[in-house]
Amino acid sequence: LDGIDLIASRTGWSSELGYELFLRDHKDGDRLYETIMQAGQPFGLRPGHTSTIRRIEGGMLSYHADMDINTNPFELGLDRFIDLYMDADFVGKDALRQIKSAGVKRRQIGVVIDGPPLAQPNTRFWPLSIAGQSIGKVTSAVYSPRLKKNIALAMVDSAHAALGTEFSVSAAQGDRIAVAVEKPFYDPKKLIAKNETAA
């Protein structure tokens, strides 16, 4: 691109159709950025970041919100990316084998929260309980105008992760009822990322 050696890849973690650019030489980073920004100027291109609403709709995880150093891939439903029986060794392989053998204690799930639209995304974890017993927390919550409902990602005890399970949520606006649902909340077949729909 403009003499900059790079690889353009239609990959990524987001739920949107997007591209990643991998530089062959990190020293070209500033030049690549300026080249792209200049080319995009007539179209109003500006730097941005992930939309919180779209991130949660797509079930995208945010480090320190939905996961941290104490979270394992089994809890997040990412076990399909792990081969515990491959010949090659990797950091954490033995620990992950032990976790799998002992059984996963927590699960990350999607929930829909009842009541009027949330005024803003949560800025702290909201406790989840069943019959007064703490069973987890809402990690990311937002009102989705597209879905016309309050949606959230939550980490709960595995025993309470089944679809349809009802919880009490101690939200910023008071106690509400939440129900475990499938995630992602929107475009579960990733048709947008596959460019198979104009949704």
Measure the CA–CA gap between 186 and 22, rounded to whole angstroms.
29
Does 199 score more than 50 pLDDT? Answer: no
Please name which of 148, 163, 138 lies closest in space to residue 115, comparing C-alpha atoms. Answer: 148
Domains of the chain, with CATH numbers?
6-43 (no CATH), 53-181 (2.40.30.110)
pTM of the entire predicted model: 0.81
Instruction: Give residues with Cβ within 8 angstroms of 120, minimum separation 6.
Output: 142
pLDDT in tens, 119-128: 999 999 999 9
Measure the CA–CA gap between 135 and 161, rounded to whole angstroms.
10
Q: What is the pLDDT of residue 17?
A: 74
Q: What is the mean pLDDT of residues 133-144?
A: 98
Does 197 score more than 70 pLDDT? Answer: no
